[in-house]
Amino acid sequence: MRKHWLDNLRWVTVLLVLFYHVIYFYNNKGVFGGIGGFGPYPECPQYQDVVMYILYPWFMPLLFLLAGISARYALEKYPAGTWFKARTRKLLVPGTIGLLVFQWMTGYFNTVVAAREGVFDGTPGVIKWIVMAFSGTGPLWFIQDLWLFSLLLLLIRKLDPKGRFHHACGKLNICWIILLGVLFWLGEQTLIRNPRPETADGLLNLYKPLFYLIPFLMGYFVFSHEDVQDRLGKAWIPLLGCAAVSGIVLVITTFGQDDTSPEYLGSPLNCLYGWLMCLAMMAWFKARFDRTGPFAGYMTRSSFGIYIVHYLVIASFGYMMKVHTQLPPPAMYAILTAAVFILSPLLYELLRRIPFVRWAVLGEKR
């Protein structure tokens, strides 16, 4: 029986990622990427940036956690080889071939336009294309990480072929579930505190493989249990309340800081809020949103593809408005929000109808 709450939570989180990127693109808090804000902080506070502080601590860990749950269910239904082959098509193909076919356009804005004009003067066209393709990875780091975790999962499962560890995890009560947040905090401590510009430190801090592997494995071993989900669902109100309180304190005490820095992410308060929100969102959706309908069904099928293509809409429209118009900031935010929520599904629907492109960019069968 399909768990609609799981589907609904996944696509709702994807929509929150889209909105986060609208705010992130114009942030002035020192967060890497985007095009910058409308004045320096603190002279120009840009209180709309509070969205980043609310969402960033938890929405990507939650997506990995949900992916771990789904991996458990899929491996109970399909042979491991069949499952991993499908994962490779769905994740690795868009995360590699898709960069050359489609994401290079996002890379254009990330390199030539958003960085500085003329950066590739005198560079051969093929080299430009390859550099822009890999610069266009953008949000696709998520699916690249997820493919690697899928491969590691197949190896980890061999350590417990009879599933004894998984069975034991299903007995955790709500107190132990909350205390798993210590693992969340330990994962954040693996970030490189002083990344060296001449090395891959910054890239490792973006991909955060050791950190994101933790919620993925917790999803697989712990939160895939029906009993654990039921325990969460019964506690959704206190979990949501505690998460809200910790989030308010976090925002009030840290607004203005770079909320993606290793120091910020590794702070106990950030980890407490991030973990409580992961639990609260799962509990809330388990208790209140275990149903579906036409729109929810469409988003369940399409949210992955929308995620794959959405950043091109943000990068292109966001840049053009900031550089080539005199629109006031509220109008830019409104237009960019409407564009990403309307054009991303349309772009996805277009690409999925082109045989080779649907395979290369979206990971769908030819």
Per-residue model confidence as pLDDT tens digits over 135-181: 899 999 999 999 999 999 999 999 999 999 999 999 999 999 999 99
Cβ contacts of 281-284, under 8 Å, gap ≥ 24: 281/9, 281/13, 281/58, 281/62, 282/9, 282/62, 282/65, 282/223, 282/229, 282/232, 283/232, 283/233, 283/234, 283/235, 283/236, 283/239, 283/240, 284/236, 284/239, 284/240
Residue 177: other Cβ atoms inside 10 A: 22
Model pLDDT for residues 99-136, shown as the tens digit of each residue? 999 999 999 888 865 555 556 667 787 888 888 899 89
**N- to C-terminal Cα distance for the chain?**
28
The whole-number pLDDT of residue 89 equals: 97
pLDDT at 123: 73
Residue numbers in the chain where pLDDT is lower than 70: 112-121
Q: Could you give the CA distance from residue 283 to residue 290 in angstroms, rounded to a whole number?
A: 11
Q: How far apart are CA 181 and CA 338, in angstroms?
A: 36
Dist CA 116 CA 138 (whole Å) = 18
pLDDT value for 33: 84
Number of independent structural domains in the chain: 1
Question: Residues 6 or more apart from 347 whose CB is under 8 A from it?
Answer: 309, 312, 313
What is the domain range of residue 107?
Answer: 4-362
Handedness of CA 1, 307, 340, 350 (dihedral sign): negative
Angle between helices 59-77 and 209-221 (to 10 degrees): 50
* pLDDT at site 118: 58
Q: Which secondary structure element, helix H or strand E, spans residue 185, and what is its range?
A: helix 181-188
Per DSSP, the three-state class of 159 is coil
- Residues 6 or more apart from 297 whose CB is under 8 A from it? none
Half-sphere exposure of 263 (CA within 13 A, CB side): 5
pLDDT confidence of residue 1: 79
Give the number of other Cβ atoms within 10 Å of residue 82's Cβ.
Answer: 12
